[in-house]
Structure 1
Amino acid sequence: MRRPSVLLTLFAGLLLMILAPPASAAGTPNAVFSKTSTWEGGYQGAYTITNAGSTTLSAWSVEFDLPSGTGVGSYWDALLTQSGNHYTFKNREYNGTLAPGASASFGWVSNGSGTPAGCRFNGASCTGGSSTDTTPPSVPGGVTVGFATASALTVRWSAATDDSGSVAGYEISRDGGTPVTATGTSYTATGLQAGTSYSFRVRARDAAGNVSAYSAAVSGTTSTGSQQPSGGLSTAPYIDMGAWPTPSMPDMASASGLKNYTMAFITASGCKAMWFNAYDPRDGWAKDQIDAIRAAGGDVKVSFGGASGIELAQACSSVDALYAEYNAVVNAYGLKYVDFDIEGAATADPASVARRSQALARLQQAHPGLRISLTLPVLPEGLTADGLSVVQSARDAGVDVDVVNVMAMDYYRSVDYGDAAVQAAQSTFSQLKSLYPGRTDAQVWAMVGVTPMLGQNDDGHVYDQADARQLVSFAQDKHLGELAFWEATRDRNACTGALYQCTNIPQSPYEFAKIFAAYSG
């Protein structure tokens, strides 16, 4: 066989260099930035990390600079370190390993409109790849309109797919108008007219800016004012139904002046809902008390979870099984209100958080108008990153969250616990405003609930009657969604002793209940 000439060899080599894609365009892990939603003075940003290589990634790091005047507020699905205007995000323990073709993402709320510059992924330049991606995502399917009030409609859809491995967001057009953006698979249109029909179309957008075709239009009609669902429970303190002897809610309501209670707690016995691992709610345990409260003009909220025992979302291995347990409890008591008290390791367990969110979305679809509250630990500075992720997960799954109720207690620091409760509410408002930028301030304040611990807290600090009056005054000014406290039997007993049954401060029976009863929303 003859050898090719030197010139021919050089020409062939040059041709291959011209025609072959650069190594970074394919076969190299990359990180792509996108703005998933924007508003005046800020935006929600995200990086999608895709392992386009042939070997598994065991960890990742994305770093970039933000211009002066722009900073990172709350963030999720990553660990953050900052040096001046330089930000470095590293994987969490649950999303650092990426097999070939797999993707992960993290995001943050930006204070300011500046975008990242000088991005580096695992020490090398971020490759992006948006200039070569011209394939749009698939069209979102299963678009429905539900959860109607007199001024709002909630649109839900099934997730689209994209050749990059993930969809950056969705655009929703109402009545053919300019689209708004959403990151999850639901969107609530607010500020609508009562008794009016609206149509919606949804399309998907990938990180490269490609958009799918719109889905077929679907319509929904807001309710009239007389058909609008009743308001939430503006004051509903927790009552430990596991106390002995079993508390009587009707007797306590009669003596205290309160009408509503949050019944605590339903936990898991295997993947089965049980009252503090003792009584099956399917048997209607304590339903006679619920009926009496309702007959007197009040209502109850049943709370799942708590600090002890196992929350159902951690015990059940599938969304179907979890939904079945939640649904059984709602049916057994004819509930309009349910609460999910998520504490400790449960807030930092992504699998159970996602499972719960999906089950709750199905629960609301099966029970239109069901009001769901998420009760989470808080600091004066606001929800922890894990707690914020719980709310974001519920939002993205299509759950219409009624109240984010913060446990304003046990800070283990030398602060005034009355001031700290108010600060926690203000901080939570700011966080929710970032997660729900389309809502008015009044609508976001109506999502905030506050639950202090009466008297002596577990850390030895005290929340007293003056602190309670301070919180009620603040709630009246801002029209908070809910006030509660832990716990009604401690308030009734008004004693000195074990903290599970006493407040350990001077008080008369039901003194706190009578202070909180002044709040009506």
Structure 2
Amino acid sequence: MIMLFIFCMVLGMAQCAYGIDLKEEAVDGSNLSVVSAHASWEAEGQWYRACVVTLNNLGPQDMSHVKLSFFYDHQPFQHTGTDPFSLQSVNDGQNYWTTYVSDWVLPIKAGEKRSVKIGFNFSDGLGNEVDPPQSFIINDQEDSPVEDTIPPSVPQNLEAQNIKPYSFLLAWSPSTDNVGVVGYNVHYHPVSQEDSVLHISTALTSIKIEGLEPEETYSCRVSAFDKAGNQSGLSERLSVITSQEGVTPEVTGRKALPYVDALSYPTPDALAMVGLSGVTGLFTGFVVARDKKACWGGYSFVYDSNTHMEESADATKSNYLRQFFDEHPDSIISIGGAAGLPMASIKGITPDELCNLYEGILENYGIKALDFDYEGGFLADTSALMLHTQATRKLLANRPTTRIIYTLPVDGSPGLQGFNYYGESFLTLLAEEAIFPNAVQCMLMEFGAGSSNNLFEASVVALEGAHAHMKKAFGHKWNDQEIWQHLGACPMFGKNNNGKVFTLENQKDLNAFCRQKGMLLMSGWSIDRDAKSMEGIDGHQPYDFSKEVAQFSLT
């Protein structure tokens, strides 16, 4: 048997991993697939023989492409599991042949063996007197056989990190070897299912194990392997209990809650606006970071032109808009927005401190819900987003009936529909952290140049795309109908900044579409704009859009 060890570089794109050590990012270009290839004759024969070539992918990566080459005097021909052969060159009297392994044989998964057959004719009748091919080259990579029978040391110090309901990071100390450790095989299973051991491989000293069940105990062991395929013994067993699944507050009837820019001047009369429009309440924005505080607009003080009083802007103790929230406790304070930074961006803040700010706002105003309007560069701040999820899990543990809403940008351009890359990644993070929001609201505004000029049509494209992204993140928790129930719509009334106009007819059509899909939240930017004359809308009367939004909540 002739052994050849091939190192096939597996190139990967760096992936975004919120709040996790870089060693978890297994797809980083450093991983190798270690493949042994050996050939043997299937049977004796003077004039014809079939050669069986077995490819053993020792891992840690699957192989989806195999180019097989070798030197041999006699002409091969296609038998089983290969494409036709082509003669590439002649070197020292030997012909150099190349073929590709057929797609139906692939992929060769890490730890798996696959065989192909190659036929040879021997015109000299000496088939029984020759050896099979002595050297193989796979994917244009060649290495000398490794004469090594010493296995690596057993991996030590297994540790579980970043434990979540559906995943955890398993890490260990590196093994040693006389030649060099190439990778690790990880074996895990629920302790209640000893016969259901799963296997994954990695070149790193950690790997993310996912697809798990909440509050389940998993048994984990790790072995190391070297270039020669020598396997170490199994590590000591580590038991890991996944965390509890988050609680999703109950979804109730349809809500009509447009935004109000609470920091605009003159100060919006929120009480009057609700009364004149008939909406069920308001999203009030925005509370943002100031030092280590949560402050209206990021100010120290805020002046209320309705009461002619200057109030503290600290939303954990301010009296600003106090009367409005007393009379409309189902209204929602929005954190973030386009102009300010959320408190999760505060340098040095801890999850406990951030949770205290969230709880302080809820307690101060006697409200039951928070909206996190995350957009712009903040959505790319992975460490801040991870900090936010940690604080939110603490908040929900302390106040399980708190309603959590996220407002994220979407696009209505075909091919770009739904959330952007950062929004989609954030949804994945929420699902991994078992944070199941009461609603994820889509900012149906400022669509790209490829979107329809009919902003209702563009909004439908955006919402359908958002539903697909939500299904990808939360499909293990909610069915299609439940995903629609957890989506919200927030168009920009009238003329958008890009010049496109969202009309009153668009709002009526959007109401009908969202009702038909079973959506439960309709918003809009913004009621204070709607209270004035609106550019681009002929015959607009105060609160026309908000009154139409209010119709969404009516049966």
Tell me the TM-score range normalised by the shorter chain. Answer: 0.5 to 0.7
Task: Kindly indicate whether residue 447 of structure 2 is the aligned counterpart of residue 444 of structure 1.
Answer: no
Structure 1 unaligned residues grouped into runs of 5+: 1-17, 34-45, 54-61, 68-113, 145-154, 190-198, 498-502
Q: Within 5 A, what are the aligned runs for 1:140-155?
A: 155=165
Aligned position for 1:74: none
1:266 shift after superposition:
0.5
CA deviation after TM superposition for structure 1 residue 346, in Å:
1.0
1:401, CA displacement in angstroms?
A: 2.1
User: Is 2:372 aligned against 1:340?
Assistant: yes
How far off its partner does 1:216 sit? 6.0
Amino acid at match of 1:161: A
Hey, what's the Cα distance between the residues in 2 that align with 1:403 and 1:370? 12
What is the aligned partner in structure 1 of residue 146 from structure 2?
none
CA contact (8 A) 2:166 2:242 kept: no
5 Å-filtered alignment, 1:23-422, equals: 48-49=27-28, 138=158, 155=165, 160-162=170-172, 200-202=216-218, 215=240, 229=250, 231=252, 234-278=255-299, 279-284=313-318, 285-294=320-329, 299-320=330-351, 321-380=353-412, 381-413=417-449, 415-422=453-460
Partner Cα distance (2:428, 2:184) in 1 = 17
Structure with bigger gyration radius:
2
Q: What letter corresponds to residue 290 of structure 1 in structure 2?
A: F
In structure 2, the CA distance between the partners of 1:399 and 1:221, relative to structure 1 (3 Å rule), is closer
Structure 1 pair 510–367 and aligned structure 2 pair: CA distance change class (3 A): same
Match of 2:79 in 1: none
Write the distance in 2 (CA, Å) between the matches of 1:260 and 1:349: 31
What CA distance in whole angstroms lies between the structure 1 residues aligned with 2:456 and 2:402?
Answer: 32
Question: AA paired with 1:417?
Answer: L
Q: CA deviation at 1:135?
A: 5.8
CA RMSD of aligned residues (A): 5.1
Question: 1:371-402: CA deviations, max 9, x gaps?
Answer: 21221111111111111112222222332222
- The whole-number CA distance in structure 2 between the counterparts of 1:172 and 1:480 is 39
Q: Does 1:467 align with 2:506?
A: yes
Contact 1:379 1:411 in 2 (8 A): yes
C-alpha distance in 2 between matches for 1:205 and 1:437: 30
Shift of 1:275: 0.3
**Aligned partner letter, 1:277:** G
Matched pairs, number: 396
Structure 1 counterpart of 2:472, from 410, 426, 434: 434
In structure 2, the CA distance between the partners of 1:63 and 1:446, relative to structure 1 (3 Å rule), is same
With over 3 angstroms needed to count, the CA separation of the structure-2 counterparts of 1:496 and 1:379, relative to structure 1, is closer
Relative to structure 1, is the Cα distance of residues 428 and 393 closer, same or farther in structure 2, using a 3 angstrom cutoff?
Answer: same
**Is 1:508 aligned to 2:537, yes or no?**
no
- Cα shift readout 1:242-289 (whole Å, capped 9, x = no counterpart): 122222322212111111211110011123210002311122322221
Aligned partner letter, 1:515: E
The 2-side partners of 1:220 and 1:348 are apart by 26
Paired-residue identity, %: 21
Instruction: Give the match's secondary structure for 1:374.
Output: strand
Indicate the residue corresponding to 2:44 in structure 1: none
The two structures have a TM-score, normalised by structure 2, of: 0.59
Give the AA of the match of 1:402.
N
Is 1:453 matched up with 2:492?
Answer: yes
Please give the alpha-carbon distance, in whole angstroms, between the structure 1 residues aligned to 2:287 and 2:12: 42
Shift of 1:425: 0.5
CA distance in 1, matches of 2:262, 2:154: 58
AA partner of residue 422 (structure 1): V
Unaligned runs of 5+ in 2: 15-24, 33-60, 67-105, 111-138, 144-150, 176-182, 199-207, 225-233, 300-312
- Distance in 2 between residues matched to 1:219 and 1:354, nearest whole Å: 18
Deviation at residue 456 of structure 1 after TM alignment: 0.5
Query: Do the aligned partners of residues 356 and 277 (structure 1) sit closer, same or farther apart at CA in structure 2, a change above 3 Å counting?
Result: same
Q: How far apart are the structure 1 equivalents of 2:262 and 2:464? A: 31
**Aligned residues of 1:491 and 1:513 also touching (Cα < 8 A):** yes
Change in CA separation of 1:52 and 1:465 when aligned onto 2, cut-off 3 Å: closer
Q: What is the Cα deviation at residue 205 of structure 1? A: 9.0
Aligned-partner Cα distance in 1 for 2:332–2:502: 24
Q: Cα offset for 1:489? A: 1.0
Offset from partner CA, 1:150-169 (integer Å, 9 cap, x none): xxxxx588754345799999
User: Which structure has more helix as a fraction of its residues?
Assistant: 1
SS in 2 for 1:281: coil
> Contact 2:255 / 2:280 at 8 angstroms: preserved in 1?
no
Whole-angstrom CA distance in 1 between matches of 2:153 and 2:443: 46
Q: Distance in 1 between matches of 2:545 and 2:443?
A: 17
Contact 2:375 2:409 in 1 (8 A): yes
Query: Residue 316 of structure 2: SS of its match in structure 1?
Result: helix
- TM-score, normalised to structure 1's length? 0.62
Distance 1:505 1:410, change over 3 A: farther
Distance 1:63 1:365, change over 3 A: same
